[in-house]
Amino acid sequence: MTGFSLIETLRWQPDEGFIRLRLHLARLSRSARRIGFPEPMDVVAKLEAAVIEEKGPRRIRLTFDREGRIDVTTAPFTPLPQDTIWKLRLAGTRLNSTDKLLRIKTTRRAVYEAARAEFLQQQADEVIMLNERQEVCEGTITSVFLDDGSGILRTPPISCGLLAGVLRTELICQRKARVGRITPDELDEGTLFVGNSLRGLIRASLQKD
């Protein structure tokens, strides 16, 4: 468990503060315990110090390493328009469902970067990854959600080999989403969404041309 750090990527709004902060802090602490990192300390104070002079929405990137060091960087953030529809493609790169580190957000990003590199930016806004059993897992930076007409979004289980996304956790806790396996064929049978805590839920369309 060396050579990488834990990551949390948050959105900060001047009128709301850090979006989903409680869930981000809980995931960071849970991840640290699972891989033998120390308990993160003074996280909120470091986050607040990073935005003390900010006036507009910010993208916040927090990293935490095995020595207990926390680093926070910020960048301007522009929310997506409400009517945004992202173009998706299926990657040839596969995730390994037995790799338990996929369940934790870390700087170990090579497999996601390889999948993203399969398509030009103009070809796909996001790339969806499958596991060795050909089950839908997640996007390179998002969780996957399918509206199959039941009134509750379906999202793949962690056991498929994917990150426990903060937005995903929130939607499941609110009973707006439920866990269920998704096959590639099913992506055409309902309304598709991807999302993360930074950007929220985004309508999506799978491209096959």
Whether the CB-CB separation of 72 and 62 falls below 8 Å is answered with yes
Q: Is residue 21 a contact partner of residue 48, using CB atoms and an 8 Å limit?
A: no
Q: What is the pLDDT of residues 23-40, one digit of tens each?
A: 999 999 999 999 999 999
Phi, psi of 119 (to 5 degrees): -135, 145
| Global confidence as pTM | 0.94
Q: What CATH superfamily is the domain 85-206?
A: D-amino Acid Aminotransferase, subunit A, domain 2 (3.20.10.10)
* CA–CA gap between residue 49 and residue 45 (Å, rounded): 6
Q: Which residues of the chain have pLDDT under 50?
A: none
Token representation of residue 178? 């439920």
- 81 burial type by CB count under 10 A (0-12 exposed, 13-18 middle, 19+ buried): exposed
CB 77 within 8 A of CB 59: yes
Q: How far apart are CA 206 and CA 89, in angstroms?
A: 6
Q: Where does the chain have alpha helices with state H?
A: 21-35, 43-50, 110-116, 166-173
Tens digits of per-residue pLDDT, 123-139?
999 999 999 999 999 99
* Adjacency order of strands within the sheet including 17-18: 17-18, 6-13, 58-64, 70-76
Residue ranges per structural domain of the chain: 6-76, 85-206
Give the separation between CA 7 and CA 180, rounded to whole angstroms.
26
Q: Find out if CATH 3.30.470.10 is the number for domain 6-76.
A: yes
